[in-house]
Amino acid sequence: MPRVSVLMPVFNCEPYIGKAIESVLDQTFQDFELIVVNDGSSDKSGEIASSYPQVRCFDRPHKGIPETRNFAVSKAEGELITFLDADDLWAPEKLEHQVKYLDEHPDCDIIFCRYRNFTDIPEEEMTEKQRKLLGREIDKCLTAACMKKSLFDRIGGFSLTCPYGEDTEWSARLVLAGIDISKRLEEFLYLRRIHNDNITLAHNETDNQAFYVSLADSIRMKLRKGGIRK
Amino acid sequence: MYKLNDEKMFFDIADGQAVVINFTTGMYYGTSTLGSAILENLVKGASEKSIADILRSAEGCPDNIEDQLKDFISALIEKEILLPEAGEGRAAELSPEAFSEGFDFTVDEFAEVQDLLMADPIHEVDVEQGWPILRDDE
């Protein structure tokens, strides 16, 4: 049984997925399995992933991120879980340092690390939006975390009703369940790629509504447990 | 009468429990069963007077219920959940279940998911384009 399951959902990420996989295979900590779930890509993402014999690949019809992530979790055999988006990269020590932290802090359920944005886009071709994003870091980026798989048994999987923001909703559920998500390694172990294909498209009003309905359900559960309902 | 400040607030009620999320600050709010029913009425445009009338007529109603209602509404306005609106408002409806857990109703404020809600997720879904997708307002 591997110690860590690395879960990589992918949808149409042909130019980058090879590098992402290699950054996992190059880890200094090697007791892991890498699971790639191809969410019905129309490009060669699935074929590229399958070309690595160390990768467990699953091909499925397109279902969207939350369901794909949940499927990946259901296939994970490791005690620890970590996600990597197929266009991003890891520093070689990411798993080693996060697993070490969790080993030394048995009460900790989830450990984050810092991440750095990067891009291959020439400076003169970058949009204002891309420049802004390059300099930005979110404190609790779920894909930069390594966590105990048991968290999914405790609070459930990603909400299928959230067309976007499913990682934020899931993280909020952790907080509402009283799980400490404050621990973060101050090393930059996750590299997030800014590229031309990830621009545009806003979520619409319906998507926003779905996100907040899902979050409100989790809050309601917490309020009841906390005795707010008098 | 009042209306939800929907430029800042998301309101949802299910199984008698109201939840309000301020999506501009990341704060969220809860209240009791009776508070939830009153808030739902206020959001739907019921008049303060008609709510007070129902409260007063309920068995076991405390003497200070109108002060309590005023304080409750003041708190909702102060927290920018409700906005005053012109008009008389419609008649309130409060089911007997609304009183099942007593007459207490205050607005409780929570901040523990604030950091998460204020940090917009970058990786988003588009079924045609692949992942990740940036929001337009990034």
If you write DSSP's letter for every residue of A93-153 in order, what string do you get? THHHHHHHHHHH-TT--EEEEEEEEEE-S-GGG--HHHHHHHT---S--GGG-EEETHHHH
Where residue B120 falls among pLDDT bands split at 50, 70, 90?
low
Closest chain B C-alpha to A45 CA, distance in angstroms? 11
Residues 6+ apart with CB under 8 A from A15: A195
Look at B124 and A138 and tell me if their CB atoms are within 8 Å.
Answer: no
**What does the pLDDT average to over B39-57?**
95
Residue B129 has pLDDT above 80, yes or no: no
Q: Which among A67, A173, A223, A224 is the top mutation candidate for probing chain B, defined by the most B β-carbons within 10 Å of its own β-carbon?
A: A223
Q: Which of A139, A197, A224 sits opposite B17 (nearest CB)?
A: A224
Stretch A183-189: mean pLDDT: 95
Which ranges in chain A belong to alpha helices (H)? Answer: 14-25, 45-50, 65-75, 94-104, 128-134, 150-155, 166-176, 205-225
Residues of chain B neighbouring A230 (CB-CB closer than 8 A) = 32-33, 101-102, 104
Per-residue pLDDT reduced to its tens digit, A1-16: 999 999 999 999 999 9
User: A215, A217, A225: best mutation site toward chain B, by most B Cβ within 10 Å?
Assistant: A215
Task: For residue range A41-82, list pLDDT tens digits in order.
Answer: 999 999 999 999 999 999 999 998 899 999 999 999 999 999
pLDDT at B137 over 50: no
Q: Which residue has the tokens 């009841």?
A: A224
User: A1: distance to nearest CA of chain B, Å?
Assistant: 30
Max Cα-Cα span within chain B: 61
**In B33-102, which ranges are E strands?**
82-84
pLDDT at site A227: 54
Could B12 and A213 be called an inter-chain contact, meaning their C-beta atoms sit closer than 8 Å? yes
Q: Residue B93's Cα: distance from chain center in Å? A: 16
Q: How far apart are CA B29 and CA B110, in angstroms?
A: 6
Q: Which two tokens stand for residue B114?
A: 């604030």
Q: CB-CB: which of A41, A132, A175 is closest to B112?
A: A175
Residue A122 amino acid letter:
P
Query: What is the mean pLDDT of the segment spanning B57-75?
Result: 94
Confidence band (pLDDT; 50, 70, 90) for B121?
very low
